[in-house]
Amino acid sequence: MPASPTVAPSTAPPRPVAGHADELVERVVAWFAGAARDLPWRLPERTPWGVLVSEVMLQQTPVARVEPAWRAWMERWPMPADLATAPTADVLRAWDRLGYPRRALRLQECARAVVERHGGAVPDDDEALRALPGVGEYTAAAVLAFAFGRRSVVVDTNVRRVLARAVGGTALPAPSPTAAERALAAAVVPDDDAGAARWAAASMELGALVCTARSPRCPACPVADLCAWRAAGSPPDAHAGRRRTQAWHGTDRQCRGRIMAVLRGTAGSVDREAMDAALARPGAAAGGGTRSAAAPDAAQVTRCLAGLVEDGLVEQDTAGAYHLPRD
Would you please indicate which residues are annotated as catalytic (active-site) residues?
55
H or E segment and range at residue 228:
helix 228-231
| Phi, then psi, of 323 in degrees rounded to 5 | -155, 165
Which of helix, strand or coil describes residue 190?
coil
- CA–CA gap between residue 324 and residue 314 (Å, rounded): 5
- CA–CA gap between residue 83 and residue 23 (Å, rounded): 43
- CA–CA gap between residue 293 and residue 290 (Å, rounded): 9
Residue among 189, 205, 150 nearest 12 (CA): 189
- CA–CA gap between residue 210 and residue 284 (Å, rounded): 35
Q: Mapped to the 3 state alphabet, what secondary structure does 147-186 carry?
A: CCCCCCCCCCHHHHHHHHHHHHCCCCCCCCCCHHHHHHHH
The helices-and-strands tally (H runs, E runs) of the chain is: 15, 2
HSE at residue 109, side-chain half, CA atoms within 13 A, is 13
- CA–CA gap between residue 43 and residue 181 (Å, rounded): 31
Using the Cα atoms of residue 4, residue 9, residue 15 and residue 19 in order, give the sign of their dihedral.
positive
Within 245-297, where are the H helices?
252-264, 272-280
Instruction: Give bridge partners of residue 270 from the DSSP assignment.
Output: 322
At residue 29, what is the residue type?
V
